[in-house]
Each structure stands twice: as C-alpha cells, then as structure tokens.
C-alpha cells in the first residue's frame, strides 16, 4: 500500500473515532459544541503551555491545509477549505497583533475569547450596526458613498474622524485598556499594512465592485455579508473539527504524525 494512502486511512480511522467521542455523550445524546476559545486553544496550542504563538498558528494552518488536501486530486487545485485557510494565514499576523492585548507574543484563553465575542457580534447584528456607524461617520457629505478622499480623511493620524472611528470600535471591542491605546494600535496596524503594499487604493478596489472609485453602502453591505459568512463558516469548521485537529496533526513541512490521546 502506498504510504500516502496508508496515512490517509489511518488518519480517517482515528478521526472517525475522535468524532464519535466528541459528538456523542455517554447516553448517546449529541453533545453541545465546545466554546470557541477552548477549541482554538486545543487546535493551536501545540506546546500545551496555555499560550498560542503566531508560529504555532501559522504551522497549524499549514497542517490543516495539508489535511484538507488528503485524498484529493493533486491536479485539481486548492479546495474550499484550503482557500479559506490560505486567507486566514494571510490575515493571521495582523489579527494576532490585535488580539495579543498584553503584547506577550502568546495568546491566552482569555484573549482568545475575543473570537467568541466576534462570533456573537456577527450573529446578534452588533457588528453590522458598528460597520454601518463607521460608514456613516466616514461619509462626510452624506451622499451614501465613501470616496478615497473621505477614507483618507477618516484614517488621517491627526484627524478628528479617526478618534470618532476608534471610539466606535472600542465601545464594542475594547481590545485595549482605553481609547488612546486603541488608537495607537490602529495607527500601528495601518502602518504595517502600508509596508506590505496594502495601500488605501488597493483596499478600495477590493470593496469597489463597480469600479467608480467610491464605496457605496450596498457594496459595503455585500462585503460585510461575505465576511460574516466566511467567518461563521470558519468558526463552525473549527468547532466541529478543532478537537480532531488536535488529535490528527499534519506538519507544515510534510512530515506527518498522528497523536492519540
């Protein structure tokens, strides 16, 4: 039997058993999914020290992508799971910096609860309302669209609009101790994004579906909906597979190992 096939069969067998253990209780009833922060800690804390580092996140994502490719046609290109993981990996450094409130280089379970809060905010509509409020704040002439000039004014380091936007975000997601610290984080992240060639114009192009140089309310709504669906799908996948991923791990360099509890 070919090594890859043997590995895939062994992996499937262990994961099937783990899925039964995760999904059913002693009385055969379906168990509730674990809290998102607990699943994230299980899936990414490879050193089991109660902290998740960026290196662990990136290596784990590579491993998850390899797992998602197992049994597939090598010439078929990346599947949906691999595409989702690739997007997550690109965003991981920025998201990690935002969530790492104490700048320790490791995310605690308390810090990971921010993802559970984001999940709840998506489902309750809080994040939708925040997005709308930020759009209305940036829309200086109130014409229902935000131009490149208006976005530039909104993110200007010495502008009043940035203070208003940061205050809006801090009210719902206080990822730093106060608004001033939150403002410093925003400026730092924006500077890092510019250094990676993620310019303002590129960001507008990503949202500007009709290519007129401005972001209409409807365009923002569609982007928000797509982002919500992608986030909640990722959460669902992690909650369903996270415990399995903690058991069945494939390393980013192609060396595979299976760990049974």
Q: pTM score, two decimals?
A: 0.76
Q: Which pLDDT belongs to residue 53?
A: 97
Q: Which pLDDT belongs to residue 70?
A: 63
Q: Which pLDDT belongs to residue 66?
A: 77
Under a CB-based contact definition with an 8 Å cutoff, are residues 146 and 139 in contact?
A: yes
Q: Which pLDDT belongs to residue 239?
A: 82
* Per-residue model confidence as pLDDT tens digits over 181-221: 999 999 998 888 776 655 666 778 888 889 888 999 999 99
How many of the other CB atoms lie within 10 Å of CB of 134? 17
Rounded to 10°, the helix 217-247/36-44 angle is 60
Closest CA to 68 of 233, 228, 245: 245
Cα pseudo-dihedral 136, 142, 146, 148, rounded to 10: -120
Q: Which pLDDT belongs to residue 253?
A: 38
Domain ranges of the chain: 3-258
Q: Which pLDDT belongs to residue 85?
A: 82
Listed as ranges, residues in the chain with pLDDT below 50 are 1, 3-26, 28, 249-261
Name residues whose C-beta falls within 8 Å of residue 141's C-beta, 6 or more positions apart in sequence. 150
Token readout for 104 is 């320790």
């Amino acid at each position: 039997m070919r090594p890859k096939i043997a590995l895939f069969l062994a992996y499937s067998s262990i994961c099937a058993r783990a899925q039964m253990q995760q999904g059913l209780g002693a009385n055969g009833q379906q168990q509730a999914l674990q809290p998102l922060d607990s699943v994230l800690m299980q899936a990414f804390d490879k050193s089991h020290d109660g902290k998740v580092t960026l290196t662990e996140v990136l290596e784990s994502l590579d491993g998850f992508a390899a797992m998602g490719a197992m049994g597939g046609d090598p010439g078929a290109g990346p599947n949906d799971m691999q595409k989702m993981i690739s997007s997550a990996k690109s965003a991981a450094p920025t998201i990690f910096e935002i969530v790492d409130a104490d700048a320790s280089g490791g995310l605690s379970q308390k810090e990971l609860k921010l993802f559970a809060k984001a999940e709840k905010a998506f489902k309750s509509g809080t994040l939708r309302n925040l997005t709308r409020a930020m759009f209305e704040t940036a829309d200086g002439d109130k014409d229902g669209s935000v131009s490149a000039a208006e976005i530039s004014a909104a993110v200007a380091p010495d502008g009043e609009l940035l203070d208003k936007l940061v205050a809006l975000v801090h009210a719902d997601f206080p990822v730093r101790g106060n608004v001033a610290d939150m403002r410093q984080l925003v400026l730092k992240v924006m500077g890092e994004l510019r250094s990676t060639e993620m310019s303002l114009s590129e960001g507008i192009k990503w949202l500007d579906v009709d290519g007129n140089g401005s972001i209409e309310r409807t365009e923002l709504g569609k982007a928000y909906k797509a982002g919500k669906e992608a986030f909640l799908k990722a959460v669902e996948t992690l909650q369903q597979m996270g415990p399995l991923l903690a058991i069945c791990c494939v390393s980013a360099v192609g060396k595979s190992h299976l760990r049974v509890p």
